[in-house]
Amino acid sequence: MADSGNVVSLAENLLSLGSEVRQLRKARQMTLKDLSSASGISLSHLSAIERGASNPSMDMLERLSAALSVSPDWFFARRPGEGPMERAYVVRSQNRRNLNALYGQDASELGYADSLLSSSVGGEFYMGLAVYKPNSETPSNRLQRHDGEQHGLVIEGELEIQIAEEVITLREGDSYSFDARIPHHARNRSDRVCKLIWAVSPVVIPNELANAGDMQPGTREKQQR
C-alpha cells in the first residue's frame, strides 16, 4: 500500500510544477497554443501538465524550459516547510529565485541584481529585491515606461530616480509610487550599495527582454526600479 504522505507530496509537486508553468506562460504573454507550438507538446498534454494531472518527462521539461527561456530548475521553487500553506506561500531568504535569469540579462547588463520576494509570478503584481552596486546604472541610460504601476522602498543606501523631467534622490526609508506610463529611470550614483524593495503590476515578463527597447526588469519593457 502506498504511503499516504508520499502520495500527498507527489500531488503537491505536480500541482506546483503545473502552476509554475502556467504562471510563467502567462507572464510571457503566451497562450497555451503558443507554448504548444514552441515546445512541440500537444495542447491536451500541456493543459494536463498545467492542471497537475500529468507529470512531464525530462525531455518535455527541457522543451518547456527552452520555449519559456528559463532553466528547468525555475519550475522547482525551493519552498520547504511543515505545512502546505508554508510550502506554497512562504519564501525563506536563502531560497529566493534569481530574476535576472528570467530577464535573460545579468547585473552587469542591467545595473542591478534582482531576486523574487513573491512566492510566484502569478497574481496581479509581484515583488522583488533589487541590489545596485556603487556607481552602477543601466548602460543605455534610457528612460523607460510601461503599463501598470511601480512602487518601491529604499532599505539601504540611496537611489537616484528620474520621473519625467524630474530627478529625485531617495535615501533609506524613502519610498515611491507612480504610474509606470510616465518615463522613468533609476541608478545608484553613490559609493555605497543600494537595496530597493519593489512591487510592479502587471506581471508581464516577455521573452528576449534585452531586445525590448522601451523598459527595464519586470514587464514588457523591463520595468525600471
Lowest mean per-residue pLDDT among 40-44, 79-83, 101-105: 79-83
- Say how far apart CA 54 and CA 135 lie, in whole Å: 48
| Residue 216 confidence (pLDDT) above 90 | no
Contact at 8 Å (CB) between 207 and 39?
no
Average pLDDT of the segment spanning 3-30: 71
- Those residues with Cβ within 8 angstroms of residue 7's Cβ, 6 or more apart along the chain or in another chain: none
Place of cell 506610463: 181
Confidence band for 221, pLDDT divided at 50, 70 and 90: very low
Q: Is the peptide bond before 217 cis (omega within 30 degrees of 0)?
A: no
Interval 47-71: pLDDT, tens: 999 998 988 889 999 999 999 999 9
Say yes or no to pLDDT of 219 above 50.
Answer: no
pLDDT at 105: 85
Q: What's the pLDDT at 194?
A: 97
Q: How far apart are CA 144 and CA 110, in angstroms?
A: 13
CA atoms within 13 A on the CB side of 214: 12
- Give the E-state strand segments of the chain in sequence order: 97-98, 113-116, 126-132, 136-137, 149-156, 158-163, 166-171, 175-179, 184-188, 194-201
- pTM (two decimals): 0.81
Q: How far apart are the first and last CA of the chain?
A: 53
Can you tell me the distance from the alpha carbon of 30 to that of 145, in angstroms, rounded to the nearest whole number? 21
Q: What is the pLDDT of residue 80?
A: 79
